[in-house]
Chain A
Amino acid sequence: MAARDDSRIDDDAPAKASLFYDPRFRSIVAQVVLLLLVVWGGYEIVRNTSANLEKQQIASGFGFLDRTAGFGIIQTLVDYTEESSYGRTFIVGLLNTILISALGILLATALGFVVGVARLSSNWVISRIALAYVEIMRNIPLLLHIFIWYFAVLRSLPQPRDEPITLIPGFAFLNVKGVFMPQLVSEPGFWMTATALGVALVLSMLVANWSRKRQEATGQQFPVGLTALGLIIALPAITFLATGRPASLEYPVFVETGPVLRRGFTQDVGINVIPEFISLLLALSTYTAAYIAEIVRAGIQAVNHGQTEASFSLGLRRGPTLRLVVIPQAMRVIIPPMTNQYLNLTKNSSLATAIAYPDLVSVFAGTTLNQTGQAVEIILMTMGVYLTLSISISIVMNWYNARIALVER
């Protein structure tokens, strides 16, 4: 100690020590160190990767997106042939991912609300069934759900050339190759019906807006739902008939004779929903619904019972109480965790790759990656897509959340 004091007797030692103990100085040091570490790590990764790519003579860059893919995809929402490019496979996979996620979110929400409300039912059997549903579904891995829906159920379905299961008589059929349904085939002039539908939608929204304003001003109610329903059905229907029915349904054709491979449902007539899609959709939505059910239950329970009692004492019946008092308040609790479930469902749709549903991961990060070997570009693009999807869902749900949030006066 003494030695140090001697050597630094006329130095500004106290200032140095205090600098070391200065939180600002420390925080700057910590941040600079972190920044350096991150930059160094990133640099090392980039350097190693480029050196490895060069050594292993793996091409880099995004030129591969223009090259011909050369493989077939079983479900495409846009035109795709084997001559299409890898870039096209990206689009095909992306659209398939969006399709399954959107439908999955809709189904899971509906089922989740039903189960969540059933959990609170005064009927013992119903609430126990809902509880059992939640506890069974949540505690089995999603991948196992998917395999059970796909491989176990697939084995129980009729073979393609046997009598199919009729889901809706004359309309929808099921066998091991999936669901076969009629397809809407439009003829020239159908656009007018489509436009009419659009017009009806816009009109309904305007009516809803007007009636809300009127109710706020005068207290008078207007049957918005019925009007909208009438508009949405009647307007396109009238246009459709007036323009001479410019569309028809193409029914699936079941051939029973002829060459064996031609028997069964004829390909590309009507809509064939592939079993990979169905099982993935069912697995995703039934699994996520269990989580949504718990969220809905917690949300409804979070609404003070006094609210219900007050509403009853005002003379509202059970239905309007639930619709006008309980649910709107429960939504504030429900929306944020629900957003997480929507994000999870979207990300979980990537498990498609296990059962050959051609989603983004399966088609692009799977087949395309294997054929081109350009792991870095493809994995980064795939991750980028999921990040974008996640952020978009978050933004939409945050906007909705802000809209319904409690406005403090």
Chain B
Amino acid sequence: MKVFAKVALGAVVATGFAGVAAAGTLDDVRAKGHVQCGVSQGLPGFSNTDDKGNWTGIDVDLCRAVAAAVFGDASKVKFTPLSAKERFTALQSGEVDLLSRNTTWTMSRDTALGLNFAGVNYYDGQGFMVRKSLGVKSALELAGAAVCTNTGTTTELNVADYFRANKLEYKVVAFEKADEVVQAYDAGRCDVYTTDRSGLAAQRLKLTAPDEHMVLPEIISKEPLGPVVRQGDDQWFNVVKWTHYAMVNAEEMGITKANVDEMKASDDPSIKRVLGTEGEFGTAIGLSNDWAYNIIKQVGNYGEVYEATVGPNTPLGLARGSNALWSQGGLQYAPPIR
């Protein structure tokens, strides 16, 4: 009967059903030939499409890096754009293998939702954007403001907490989608737009006159954003986690997309370990030994990706800040590969 059910299911809705076999995610990914990656529906710098449907962004590049590590080919990745509301369900149900969608690492998500956060690829915090014409210099002057934000995220709660804690009255206008928030803020419905500061920088580009707006200095929350995988599959968890760490380590050692081939001849044992010319670190997590080489060759190290997607020379213009390497006063710190 089970056979019949399986066949019948396959026949009736042949396209939609995609079974996730009980085997590990890595094996599944190998079997289907690509990494299915959940990303946001359009956040410049993090994950966004151009008119032709090509994806770019720091979150997207992490997905590419995972594909490079698994297949040696960064193009073997497919993207599923997800709303804030759907993202965890999509990951839990196996619709995506990996969620790389500027998702804040919180305790409840880590423990109660059956998820694992595989590192932090962007350290962020919630901020406020206002019109320069308001002449406001600090968030503490925002008493009486109308605040635009979107539902389904931690921001809505943070802003309520902040205004209550500082005894400021406010009105919150909460939209379902980020684009609607931007439109409403741009139309003047709200005095303040609040979301993660990286998001503010990205959404600011969408305003009619970006130069007339400014981001206030206050950061009212910690928002460590990172890739998420399902709990209970340590192998896949390791692959994703170490993909990120390999990129950070590469930056620390000065291995870049351009010089990775020369570096392969390096005598430095730690570089040799990263690039797989010494040791068996790749095979230990079920990948090939040149996994990190492929990541760096095809996607780049963490710093390169940062500069290309959200860095000071991109439209977003975000300084490295907390996302600088630990050695340069930032928080990006990767355990050594050895």
A and B touch in the complex (CB under 8 A): yes
- Chain A residues packing against B (C-beta within 8 Å): 52, 55-59, 70-74, 82, 151, 154-155, 157, 159-160, 176-177, 259-262, 267-268, 275-276, 353-356, 358, 362, 366-367, 369-371, 373, 375
Q: A261 contacts which chain B residues (CB < 8 A)?
A: 134, 136, 141-145, 191
Question: Contact at A369–B187, with CB atoms within 8 Å?
Answer: no
Q: Which of B142, B152, B187 contacts A151 (CB 8 A)?
A: B187
Q: Which of B113, B114, B151, B170 contacts A366 (CB 8 A)?
A: B151
Q: B207 contacts which chain A residues (CB < 8 A)?
A: none
Q: B135 contacts which chain A residues (CB < 8 A)?
A: 260
- CB within 8 Å for A356 and B175 given contacts A260-B133, A261-B144, A370-B152: yes
Q: Which of B113, B133, B136, B157 contacts A371 (CB 8 A)?
A: B157
Alpha-carbon separation in the docked complex, A73 to B156 (Å): 10
Alpha-carbon separation in the docked complex, A355 to B161 (Å): 24
Which 7 A-B pairs rank lowest in CB-CB distance, beginning with the nearest?
Answer: A370-B152, A72-B172, A154-B187, A56-B114, A367-B151, A176-B188, A155-B187
> In the complex, given contacts A57-B114, A159-B188, A369-B85, what are 4 additional A-B residue pairs having Cβ atoms less than 8 angstroms apart?
A176-B189, A267-B169, A354-B180, A371-B157
Size category of the binding interface on chain B? 35 or more
Q: A71 contacts which chain B residues (CB < 8 A)?
A: 156-157, 160, 172, 174
- CB within 8 Å for A354 and B176 given contacts A57-B112, A370-B151: yes
Question: Contact at B85–A58, with CB atoms within 8 Å?
Answer: no
**B171 CB within 8 Å of chain A:** yes
21 A-B contacts (beta carbon < 8 Å): A52-B93, A57-B114, A70-B157, A70-B160, A72-B160, A72-B171, A73-B172, A74-B171, A82-B164, A154-B188, A260-B134, A261-B134, A355-B175, A356-B184, A362-B176, A366-B151, A366-B152, A366-B176, A370-B84, A370-B153, A371-B157
Question: Contact at A154–B141, with CB atoms within 8 Å?
Answer: no
Most chain A CB within 10 A, of B92, B159, B173, is at B173
Residue of chain A at shortest CB distance from B191: A261
**B322 CB within 8 Å of chain A:** no
Question: Contact at B189–A275, with CB atoms within 8 Å?
Answer: yes
Which of chain B's residues 102-152 have a Cβ closer than 8 Å to chain A? 111-114, 133-136, 141-146, 151-152
**B49 CB within 8 Å of chain A:** no
Question: Contact at B134–A151, with CB atoms within 8 Å?
Answer: no
Q: Which of B112, B113, B136 contacts A260 (CB 8 A)?
A: B136
Alpha-carbon separation in the docked complex, A157 to B187 (Å): 9
Alpha-carbon separation in the docked complex, A38 to B313 (Å): 60
Question: Contact at B85–A370, with CB atoms within 8 Å?
Answer: yes
- Chain B residues packing against A (C-beta within 8 Å): 84-85, 88-89, 92-93, 111-114, 133-136, 141-146, 151-153, 156-157, 159-161, 164, 169-176, 180, 183-184, 186-189, 191
Question: Contact at B144–A353, with CB atoms within 8 Å?
Answer: no
Alpha-carbon separation in the docked complex, A262 to B143 (Å): 8
Alpha-carbon separation in the docked complex, A275 to B88 (Å): 33
Q: A155 contacts which chain B residues (CB < 8 A)?
A: 186-188
Q: Which of A59, A154, A262, A367 contacts B156 (CB 8 A)?
A: A367
Q: B134 contacts which chain A residues (CB < 8 A)?
A: 260-261
Question: Contact at B176–A151, with CB atoms within 8 Å?
Answer: no
Question: Contact at B114–A151, with CB atoms within 8 Å?
Answer: no
Alpha-carbon separation in the docked complex, A57 to B190 (Å): 38
Most chain B CB within 10 A, of A259, A356, A362, is at A356
Question: Contact at B187–A367, with CB atoms within 8 Å?
Answer: no
Q: A369 contacts which chain B residues (CB < 8 A)?
A: 85
Q: A375 contacts which chain B residues (CB < 8 A)?
A: 89
Residue of chain A at shortest CB distance from B142: A261
Q: A82 contacts which chain B residues (CB < 8 A)?
A: 160, 164
Residue of chain B at shortest CB distance from A369: B85
Taking the closest CB of chain A, its distance from the CB of B153, in whole angstroms, is 8
Question: Contact at A74–B189, with CB atoms within 8 Å?
Answer: no
Question: Contact at B187–A262, with CB atoms within 8 Å?
Answer: no
Taking the closest CB of chain A, its distance from the CB of B52, in whole angstroms, is 26
Most chain B CB within 10 A, of A71, A82, A160, is at A71
Residue of chain A at shortest CB distance from B115: A56
Most chain B CB within 10 A, of A73, A157, A367, A375, is at A367
Taking the closest CB of chain B, its distance from the CB of A161, in whole angstroms, is 9
Question: Contact at B161–A70, with CB atoms within 8 Å?
Answer: yes
Alpha-carbon separation in the docked complex, A171 to B202 (Å): 41
Alpha-carbon separation in the docked complex, A371 to B134 (Å): 32
Residue of chain B at shortest CB distance from A73: B172
Alpha-carbon separation in the docked complex, A367 to B171 (Å): 16
Residue of chain A at shortest CB distance from B133: A260
Alpha-carbon separation in the docked complex, A292 to B145 (Å): 40
Question: Contact at B151–A56, with CB atoms within 8 Å?
Answer: no
Q: B136 contacts which chain A residues (CB < 8 A)?
A: 260-261
Q: A58 contacts which chain B residues (CB < 8 A)?
A: 112-113
Taking the closest CB of chain A, its distance from the CB of B271, in whole angstroms, is 41
Q: A373 contacts which chain B residues (CB < 8 A)?
A: 88, 113
Residue of chain A at shortest CB distance from B150: A356
Question: Contact at B189–A154, with CB atoms within 8 Å?
Answer: yes
Question: Contact at B144–A151, with CB atoms within 8 Å?
Answer: no
Taking the closest CB of chain B, its distance from the CB of A45, in whole angstroms, is 15
- CB within 8 Å for A177 and B187 given contacts A57-B112, A71-B172, A355-B180: no
Q: A57 contacts which chain B residues (CB < 8 A)?
A: 111-114
